[in-house]
Structure 1
Amino acid sequence: MTRFVVVPQWQGSPAARAMLLAAGAEAIAGDLPRAKTVVVDVPVEAGEAQDTGIRRFSALARVHEAVADALATLGVDASHPAGREPAIVVGGDCGVAVPAIAHAAAAHEGLAVVWFDAHADLHSPATSPSGAFAGMALRAVIDDLPSPSPAATPGAPPGVVPPGRVFVAGARELDDAEADLLDGGADTPRHLAPADLDDPTALVDAVVASGATALYVHVDLDVLDPAVISGVSLPVPFGLTLEQLVAAVAALRERLPLVGASIAGFAPATPAAAVDDLGTILRVVGALA
């Protein structure tokens, strides 16, 4: 059975009301099976950059170490390709995916990452307009940033996955520095816009053609169209329908073993607003689980 690691981290977000992300993670946790859910303690304080160019870096480092520890202690399941029960990390901001990907990459040399998000999250400290780690999260997966996450292997950059096995799906708001990293050839991440996901075959075929033998899926809920979900910090129009997202995840899982996943970006304005969106979110959880 799927395990859940809930991480109400808000320190990586650039949003003015970033702490709503903590409330969002806690709202999702309320609908998960308690016996299969671990909640990671997140510091109350914002933290300091520590000369990294990443805002709140010290707090992020503490959280990411705790996430790595939580994933390492999940029970063994010999029937699962990972040797452990698959885990879904529930944020919080998108930075929670980085230690989870590092954990999966350490066990699976052929890991591919499919990153469903309205934004590419490919900034570095040098290009980021905000200094927020959530906007650098995917870059930390493919590049040697001063990441707060533990390394997947000793001496290696954190959570390393070759760029050619990374796929940005549903993004529609890219800064120039991020666009320059996408679709530049075999050694860069592949970008699939929402229209490219009308039929998930193109995405699935691309992931399989990359030589991947295992799959990690990250979903920032702002990949969905604002008409589908309201409780996100940075909504972008012309996103995916719920049916597109669920169909894409199902098609990927038919071809490759899912060895890890994460959901992030739920920032409901009020508890009542959270209830309105939870049905949609649980459909996404169901597709991953």
Structure 2
Amino acid sequence: MPYHLDERLPAFEAPVEVDETITLLLPDSGHWQRMAVLYDTVADTVAKAVSEGDRPVVVSGDCTTSLGVVAGLQRAGVQPSIVWFDAHGDVHTPRTSLSGYLGGMPLRLLVGAHPEVIADLLGLEAVPEANVTLVDARDLDPPEAEYLESARITRCAVDDLVLPEGPIYLHVDFDVIDSAELPGLLFPAPNGPSRKKVAKAVRKVLETGRVVAVGGACTWHAGHGSAELVEPVLAPVFHETVMTGL
């Protein structure tokens, strides 16, 4: 998915070998409506892959594509829990975000906030907060911190994973990695875990045998070599050997 929100990225750098690329002619409408068209196709593609026994890996330029992935899992009859690696919370709503940045909202939308924004357009059912683990999230805005204080979402560090029950959608925003190790990030956050620690944690989630789909948010500017740097982080998704190059 070579997009950041509804904007096509002509120089998208993916950290995986790509089997299929989704690009569409989008309608001249609002951002969420345009993204709903994209994510409906993502959902159908994911549902088909899961129904055929595959574990799809979807990479894009931001985290909102997760809405299409989870909708696709549900279309395939899977009600996933979520393990979400991110330097940020992504739990803003259109009412709490001062910047209005849509990429800061997907996890909150996934657990049922403002379904009229996009979930209703995708037929996306809310994932219960109790079935979500938010990993790291060291850089929170005050409204996000306030929400998470009372939410049933589990929070943990990369070194101390607490995993939900049931089939898992594993989502990794690569900016969870310390910005000193990953140049060119759109929203760099210092004092984070190393690439090696994130790779180890990803493998721990995969070792449950319950991961049904993986999302990778490539939240960086092109031309900094970030895709090559994070390839080993996703290596456990495809191979038994991990950590090489870290």
Q: TM-score, normalised by structure 1?
A: 0.73
Query: What is aligned with 2:205?
Result: 252
1:120 to 89, 103, 114: 89
For residues 87 and 25 of structure 2, the distance between their equivalents in structure 1, rounded to whole angstroms, comes to 27
2:49 counterpart of 1:74 = yes
Query: What is aligned with 1:40?
Result: 22
Contact kept? 2:57, 2:213, Cα under 8 Å: yes
> One-letter code of the match for 1:143?
G
Output one character per residue of 1:8-41: Cα deviation in whole Å (capped at 9) or x when no partner. Answer: 12236xxxxxx6x8256x3217x515xxx11111
Deviation at 1:43, TM superposition (A): 4.5
In the alignment, structure 1 segments of 5+ residues that lack a partner are 1-6, 13-18, 50-55, 78-83
What are the residue-to-residue correspondences of 1:180-219 with 2, within 5 Å? 180-184=146-150, 188-192=152-156, 196-198=157-159, 202-203=160-161, 206-207=162-163, 210=164, 212-219=165-172
> One-letter code of the match for 1:229?
L
Query: What is aligned with 2:36?
Result: 61
2:176 counterpart of 1:223 = yes
Deviation at 1:102, TM superposition (A): 2.1
Contact kept? 2:43, 2:68, Cα under 8 Å: yes
Query: What is aligned with 2:188?
Result: 235
Deviation at 1:99, TM superposition (A): 1.2
Query: What is aligned with 2:219?
Result: 266
Output one character per residue of 1:77-120: Cα deviation in whole Å (capped at 9) or x when no partner. Answer: 4xxxxxx20001110211011110222245233x2211111111
> One-letter code of the match for 2:17?
L
Deviation at 1:179, TM superposition (A): 1.1
Give the 3 Å change call, closer, same or farther, for CA 75–113 of structure 1 in structure 2: closer
In the alignment, structure 2 segments of 5+ residues that lack a partner are 239-246
For residues 186 and 25 of structure 2, the distance between their equivalents in structure 1, rounded to whole angstroms, comes to 21
> One-letter code of the match for 1:38?
E
Output one character per residue of 1:101-151: Cα deviation in whole Å (capped at 9) or x when no partner. Answer: 222245233x22111111110011111122232111001110142343567
Deviation at 1:59, TM superposition (A): 1.6
For residues 178 and 48 of structure 1, the distance between their equivalents in structure 2, rounded to whole angstroms, comes to 29
Count of aligned pairs: 236
Contact kept? 1:121, 1:139, Cα under 8 Å: yes
Deviation at 1:238, TM superposition (A): 0.7
Give the 3 Å change call, closer, same or farther, for CA 60–39 of structure 1 in structure 2: same
Give the 3 Å change call, closer, same or farther, for CA 239–43 of structure 1 in structure 2: farther
For residues 279 and 183 of structure 1, the distance between their equivalents in structure 2, rounded to whole angstroms, comes to 36
Deviation at 1:214, TM superposition (A): 1.1
SS at 1:94's partner residue?
A: coil
2:126 counterpart of 1:160 = yes
SS at 1:169's partner residue?
A: strand
2:211 counterpart of 1:278 = no
Query: What is aligned with 1:9?
Result: 3
Contact kept? 1:22, 1:91, Cα under 8 Å: no
Deviation at 1:69, TM superposition (A): 2.1
Following TM superposition, the consecutive aligned residue runs of length 4 or more in structure 1 with deviations greater than 4 angstroms are 42-45, 149-153
2:139 to 158, 167, 173: 173
Contact kept? 1:114, 1:167, Cα under 8 Å: yes
Contact kept? 2:179, 2:190, Cα under 8 Å: yes
2:90 counterpart of 1:103 = no
Give the 3 Å change call, closer, same or farther, for CA 171–282 of structure 1 in structure 2: same
Contact kept? 1:140, 1:159, Cα under 8 Å: no
Contact kept? 1:225, 1:240, Cα under 8 Å: yes
Give the 3 Å change call, closer, same or farther, for CA 75–183 of structure 1 in structure 2: closer
Identity fraction in percent: 25
Query: What is aligned with 1:3?
Result: none
> One-letter code of the match for 2:141?
D
